[in-house]
Structure 1
Amino acid sequence: MPNMIDGETEFPETNSMLCPWGQTMPFVFRAAPKFESLADKWILPTLHPRRGEVVIERELWPVSEMFGASVGQHRRAVNAGYEATRRFRARLLALGQEALAILRAKDEMGIVLLGRSYNVNDPGTNLNVPTKLRTLYGTNVIPMDCLPIVGIDIKDVNDNMYWNYGRKILQAARFVSRQPNLRVIYITNFKCGPDSYIKHYTKDAAGGPFLTLQFDGHANDAGTLTRCEAYLDSQGFFTHEPRPIERSAQKSLSRTREERVEA
């Protein structure tokens, strides 16, 4: 179980850290009483993806060496892993572009799901709300991992977004701000410290209102779906007539960062 410190980024001047829970989870698991008998079985390499493939290759070498792999085998394995990741991401983007093209061609609205991949894509965590949005309400749903957000600048929203997922979330929100037929549902989880303040910048990036769904692993979906219905109705999904929103990449409906500081 790797100890992931940060994530890849196209903005090297700004940190791209993973959250404290993500960074420390391997050590939390190892210290759990249930796993005391397996304390010497854990393999916990510390990885820094933002430093690139060469660094990851070096940081993973002790693990490969432990299993008797040669240097050549190790390098081929790391290269294969990166190549598989690139193909997977390319496939996600292709699916996203296809979905966006269909929405434009049919003049339909869509919901972009913002959030961390383990919240947005795990039906156990999010009570399968993405699927229910589609099956119960006919809503077009696109996860943010399928959007072309690489290179989108969000410095006017937050010039030091050092959380890796925070940057991606705000980039996706900014992308939505440029698409008149898209709206946002932000999926988060209880006790997520970074999300507790990242979501306050999301309105600035999205240029309009959005729905936040916070899951804690205990509630059922009744209240959640009621909130979804209210949001979809308020945004014109049921009438197929999008409610106009004055969007702007430079000026948000909420107060600017400077105004908030002065207040």
Structure 2
Amino acid sequence: MVIIIAVVFTKRLRNPRNFVAVSLSLSNIALGILVSVQILVKRPQTSSGCLLAHSTLLIFAYFHVNCILMMTLERYTAVIHPFFYRKWVTKKMFAVVILTSVIICVIFGAYPVIKLSIIESRGSAGSSHLMSCNLGEVSPVIYAVFMTCVGLLALALITGMNVRLLLVARVHIEKMTSILKATGRKDSVEVASMTKQKTKTTLIISFMVVYYTISWTPVHIVLLLSYLNVTSNQLSLLIVFTIAFSSLVISSIIYGIVYKEYRTAFLGLFCKRSDSSQAGVEINVLSRY
């Protein structure tokens, strides 16, 4: 909500990269509501209803990972290829990318339900009386393998780009610190600030890389096993999906509170501060911390 409110009411934040942040926030809110409803309300008893509930969760889960990938790619392009970023990255392009991402996630997430509808419409024997809500009963194994590979590839790309951004950030801070020290201000406030910023940036990016890799990899593995009819006990499933969905909360905290641009804009709305001195968008790997 911090991100949504900050972007809606702060004109300077209405840029391409924040459109993805708003999309991520909306998907997290929707996914949190759906998970809460499934936990608090009685689960669907029919195979169609159960598969529909699972497919809806998959759609938002895929979109969540996709948004993280788009945000990482946006930062990577802005930092590593700034001239290309300034020339080609526009609001229109990001709107098309987000819309395309939504369509792809809906198609892949809703595939089990679509497949079940096709099976039932053809009147296959026993297809309308599935004994369990097992995605593998209506979807081929190739679908599971494909989605698992895509998910793991997305995690690998997120990890690789964040590691590169981390290295660039550390080099940038070390250069700035060296320049400040060369001026003879070894104990200056600027040096202390740059050192603090280096530590903060390292911790945030490293945590994101490690946590997302740890939290989402088991989910893809469990999903693949479910398609292969290898069932897991309820406790292990609960632990795996709790860790994965906890990344929604973590990402919301990181993007909504830790990042300076959203935090400052959000607090400025309530403190009635003028943001005229903060106009403009700085293309820098450190501009968000």
Q: Which has the higher contact order (CA 8 A, sep 6+)?
A: 2
Larger Rg: 2
The normalised TM-score by structure 2 is: 0.27
The normalised TM-score by structure 1 is: 0.29
Structure with higher helix content:
2
